[in-house]
Amino acid sequence: MSEQTSEVREAIEKAIADNEVILFMKGTPNAPACGFSARTAGALQSLGAKFAAVDVLPDARIRSELSALSQWPTIPQLFVRGELVGGCDIVTEMYASGELAQLLGVEHEDGALEEPTLGNGVLEIENRL
Amino acid sequence: MVMPQAGEIKSRIEAAIPGARAEVEDWTGGGDHFRASVTAKAFSGLSRIEQHRLVYQVFGDEIGGPIHALSLSTQSE
């Protein structure tokens, strides 16, 4: 592992450790660059969950190091309290069953995914990865 | 590069995971976004994450490469 790569790895590890709920995605919650990322961020937003988000697109090393670390091949990836919860499929399933709300300690509102309230409840994380 | 077919994805999952039954569809018709529903005894006792990992492991680096997306739903038998 080169020094630069391990720097990226350490930054990812720190971001996961420092943020109780953190989503690695393509694009940002307000401007997602992929449908899977949009859906996952939308589930969190519709629960009014506070979460940090990291865009993996600016630097290809973020994605490769993240996947090496998490042993999970695709983006998005949601971590809660340092543990990988899953990608879009698992988060969507857990949203529907109420497990996601439970995990995040928020009230689950019945019904369809609301329109995400943009910029509300979203912790902006400066992307220094 | 040869694009994988839904049938090929299905048979590779079934060959790699003992007792697995997979239904695979080409989500977009483009040969790179697939949706699979997999049932297997091998999933029993595993968390959802671990079940999905077992399926992803069948394809290794192809996920994110020629297989742009593989959406999964897994059930243990």
Q: Please report the ipTM that was assigned to this predicted complex.
A: 0.85
Question: Which pLDDT tens digit goes with each residue over B4-26?
Answer: 799 999 999 999 999 999 999 99
Say whether A79 sits in a helix, a strand or coil. Answer: strand
Domain residue spans in chain A? 3-106
Instruction: Please report how the helices A35-46 and A88-97 are oriented relative to each other, as an axis angle in degrees rounded to 10.
Output: 30
What does the pLDDT read at residue A100? 97
How many other CB atoms are there within 10 angstroms of residue B43's CB atom?
Answer: 22
Provide the Cα torsion A86, A87, A92, A98; round to 10°. 20
- In angstroms, rounded to a whole number, what is the distance separating the alpha carbons of residues B32 and A91? 22
pLDDT at A126: 54
State how far the Cα of A54 lies from the Cα of A122, in Å rounded to an integer.
Answer: 12
In this complex, do B73 and A89 lie within 8 Å of one another by their Cβ atoms? Answer: yes
Residue A115: its pLDDT value, please? 43
For residue A88, give the nearest of A39, A122, A52, A45 by alpha carbon. Answer: A39
Are B66 and B33 a contacting pair, CB within 8 Å?
Answer: no
Tell me the average pLDDT across A67-73. Answer: 95
**List of domains in chain B:** 18-76 (3.30.300.90)
Pairing of strands A51-55, A21-25: parallel
| CB < 8 Å from B in window 32-61 of A | 36
A74 close contact with B: CB closer than 8 A:
yes
pTM: 0.84
Of B48, B64, B71, the CB nearest to A73: B64
A32-49 confidence digits (pLDDT tens): 999 999 999 999 999 999
Mean per-residue pLDDT pooled into runs of 10, chain B (77 residues): 80 96 92 94 95 96 90 94
In words, the CATH class of domain A3-106 is alpha beta
Does A119 score more than 60 pLDDT?
A: no
Compare CB distances from A74 to B48, B63, B73 and report the shortest one's residue.
B63
Interface-testing mutation among A88, A90, A93, with chain B (most B C-beta atoms within 10 A): A90
Q: Quick one: what percent of chain A has pLDDT higher than 90?
A: 77
Q: Which two tokens mark B53?
A: 């990992």
Q: Say whether A73 and B56 touch across the interface (CB within 8 A).
A: yes
User: Does residue B53 sit at the A interface (CB-CB below 8 Å)?
Assistant: yes
